Structure 1
Amino acid sequence: MGNGCALFSTAFLSFAALILAIVACAGSTKNYNPINKIFEAQLDLSNMQVSTVLSSASSSGTSLDALGLPSYINLGLWSYCIADSSGEVSSCTSPSGIQDFNLKNMLYDNIENNQVAELVSSVAELAIPDSLQSNLTHYNNLIKCTFITLIIGIVVSFLNFAVNVLRWVVHLSLITWLGRFFSLIAFLSLGVSAGTSTGTYVYIRRLLSSSYDEYGIRLNLGRNFYAILWASVAAALLNLIVWSTVRSRRYARVVPVEEKPLM
């Protein structure tokens, strides 16, 4: 009875970790509610100092509205969405592999005013904080780590759930140990993904905050994304703990029969 409860719990927890990780991974890939509300970080451009970021526009007094830039850019793992001043998402880019954090490219790609676009002949003419630009490759490597480990966590969580189902009908030690192994790998992968993403964007947020007065660009963490992703990590951890209590095979209690004395 106890072993059955443990197996049922691991099935539920591994499935929960899998679904939560998938939802986090799918954030901001489509402009559908609630997918468009799930993002790693949000760039707040509503108070951007155009004269600093776009030096060629300083003399013409170009405003954010004149540039046609969105007020917010919601960054997902595969793509990003743009939102207006009220936070309403208007569109999302198509998923195209790992989404790098490249502030210059995102600004350049979203300049909609053709006359303003003529003032900027290349991405290089856009100015962003040097402390951010100098370590951009390092930050993007960490973002790639987030993406890759999350995908590994999703795949292994699925394998763990499949092993759990197999364990209900096959009572072998190998199956039990496979379940424990996959639960460990799933927890480590999801934990590394969540930790790397959180640490990277917290640090980028601090860099942008330190230069906010000059550039007017702020970054906020996506609460929905991190709530879902860390919940997936918690489910994977509980799954690992419960798997350690699953016995390898069924045991029958043997009660010795008392021999009757000879008459």
Structure 2
Amino acid sequence: MGKAGRVACIFTPYVLTIASLICIIMVGLGCTKASSGTLNNLYFVRVDLQNISSEGSKTTTEIENILSEHGITSVTSSEVSDVLSKLQEDSTLADFYQIGLWGYCDGAINNNTANVTECSKPKSEFYFDPFYVWGLEDSDVKDELPSDYTKAMKVYKAVSKWMFIAYLVAFIVTIVEILVGFFAICSRWGSCVTTFFAVLAFLFTTAASITSTVLFSVFKSSLSSTLDAYGITLTLGKNIYAATWLAVVFSLAAVIFWTFSICCCSGRSPYGNRNNNNARGITAEKAPYTYEPLGAGQHPHGHQHNTSYPPPAAHGGEYPMTNTNQRSNAYEPFRHV
């Protein structure tokens, strides 16, 4: 297969790698621009506070049972009501908050339509701190929170930091994979190096996707039952999870095809050595019942190249005087095998 075939073989994993990179970029651009409806629909979780109320729709016993099911035993229903009541009094809340990789967006809900009005400035290793966002970091409300909240926020902060780093590394390694992929057109060694970076990109993309999915799924399942009783709704974003898992699928497919390009799709032409003088020669087998000059190949009976057998006797056994050098090209006896 020539260079044209090699290029065709590299084309498929190259396109898959670019598709994976685009998906990762879409994840990173979520919740970064208030005027973009497309980017505003890319969020990990949305916190809907439109119908927040300090008076829960469930009884005190039901709320405390829900809290205990999730391992929260140091918080009572009355404490939750007090925190939400002060939250309503001390801050002006937006109708909803959307959490992305680099920041968050907030806005208002009109006629069941969410309209983003503002997005935070992108920040590395971002994590959503509700009391900081709502301007209640130094208020008495935060002091009334139990120790479980502080522990949960520390875990959430650490996991969010790792998730951000994983997405960043996946983005960088995927770009390197695309750049190194040019060398894969030239040789299988280029494919080998590209496959190495493809595997790294796949591992970090998968790790980031798993982390984000598990983190916010646990976040929603742990708090949704309790917060629903106070009019707070948590919703996972579909588009951003579709983008991040599509990045994983494209990255995995790229690894498979990059690996295939190592084993197959050689850039050498099968006709490249046709006129090469150093190519392997074709050796013909000696056919039986043929004559062969004595000077070619091996010399029988240890004779040198210029040694010849005496000519047959003529005229009474006398040997005519002949030059032995004239018999140097004599043929060996008739070959039977």
TM-score by length of 2: 0.65
1:26 aligns with 29
Contact 1:132 1:207 in 2 (8 A): no
Q: Work out which of the two has the higher radius of gyration on C-alpha atoms and give 1 or 2.
A: 2
Counting only pairs closer than 5 Å after superposition, residues 81-120 of structure 1 correspond to structure 2 as 81-85=105-109, 86-106=113-133, 108-109=134-135
Q: Which AA in structure 2 matches 1:38?
A: L
Aligned in 2, Cα 1:121/1:34: closer, same or farther, shift over 3 Å? closer
Equivalences for residues 51-90 of structure 1 within 5 A: 55=82, 58=85, 67-85=91-109, 86-90=113-117
Aligned counterparts, 1:125-144, within 5 A: 125-126=141-142, 131-144=148-161
Q: Structure 1 CA distance, aligned partners of 2:125 and 2:137? A: 27
Tell whether the 8 Å contact from 2:103 to 2:126 is kept in structure 1 after alignment: yes
Verify: 1:46 aligned to 2:61, yes or no. Answer: no
Give the letter aligned to residue 245 of structure 2.
Answer: W
Q: Work out the CA distance in 1 between the residues paired with 2:83 and 2:116.
A: 29
Structure 2: gaps (5+ residues): 56-78, 275-279, 291-337
Deviation, 1:69, is 1.1
The structural deviation recorded for 1:76 is: 0.9
Among 163, 183, 188, the alignment partner of 2:203 is 188
- Taking structure 1 as reference, are residues 88 and 53 closer, same or farther at Cα in structure 2, changes over 3 Å only? farther
Distance 1:28 1:121, change over 3 A: closer
Whichever residue aligns with residue 225 of structure 2, its letter is S
Q: CA deviation at 1:196?
A: 0.3
Alpha-carbon contact 2:53-2:85 (below 8 Å) kept: no
Cα gap change, 1:220/1:3 in structure 2, threshold over 3 Å: closer, same or farther?
same
Q: 1:129·1:208 contact (CA, 8 Å) conserved in 2? A: no
CA distance in 2, matches of 1:229, 1:163: 23
Change (3 A) 1:167 1:210: same
Counterpart code for 2:41: K
CA RMSD of aligned residues (A): 3.1
Extract structure 1 runs of 4+ deviating beyond 4 A: 51-54, 56-59, 126-133, 254-263
The alignment covers a number of residue pairs equal to 247
Counterpart CA distance in 2 for 1:136 and 1:56 is 17
Quick one: distance in 1 between partners of 2:219 and 2:138? Answer: 24
Residue 163 of structure 1 corresponds to: 180
Distance 2:146 2:234 in 1: 13
For 1:232, the aligned partner's letter is A
Distance change in 2, residues 1:208/1:10 (3 Å) = same
Aligned-residue offset at 1:33: 2.6
CA–CA distance in structure 2, aligned partners of residues 131 and 225 of structure 1 = 29
Q: Distance in 1 between matches of 2:84 and 2:9?
A: 65
Using a 3 Å threshold, how does the CA distance of structure 1 residues 136 and 121 change in structure 2: closer, same or farther? closer
Amino acid at match of 1:48: I
Return the alpha-carbon distance in structure 1 between the equivalents of residues 12 and 203 of structure 2: 19
- Inter-CA distance 7–150: structure 2 relative to 1 (3 Å threshold): same
Q: Which amino acid aligns with 1:43?
A: V
Other-structure match for 2:323: none
Please state which structure has a larger fraction of its residues in helix: 1
Describe the SS at the equivalent of 1:49: coil
Quote the residue 2:167 is aligned against: 150
For structure 1, which segment, 247-256 or 81-90, has the greater mean C-alpha deviation from structure 2 after superposition?
247-256
Shift of 1:167: 2.0
**Which amino acid in 1 is paired with 2:126?**
Q
What is the one-letter code of the residue matched to 1:14?
T
Give the whole-Å Cα distance in 1 for the aligned partners of 2:122 and 2:170.
20
Aligned pair partner of 1:245 in 260, 268, 272: 260
For 1:57 and 1:94, locate their aligned partners in 2 and report how far apart those are by CA, in whole Å: 27
Q: Classify 1:131/1:217 alpha carbon distance in 2 versus 1 (closer, same or farther; 3 Å).
A: farther
The alpha-carbon distance between structure 1 residues 105 and 215, as it changes in their structure 2 partners (threshold 3 A), is farther
Provide the secondary structure at the position in 2 that maps to 1:83: strand
Task: Work out whether residues 183 and 191 of structure 2, in 8 Å CA contact, stay in contact via their aligned partners in 1.
Answer: no
Which segment is superposed worse, 123-132 or 199-208?
123-132
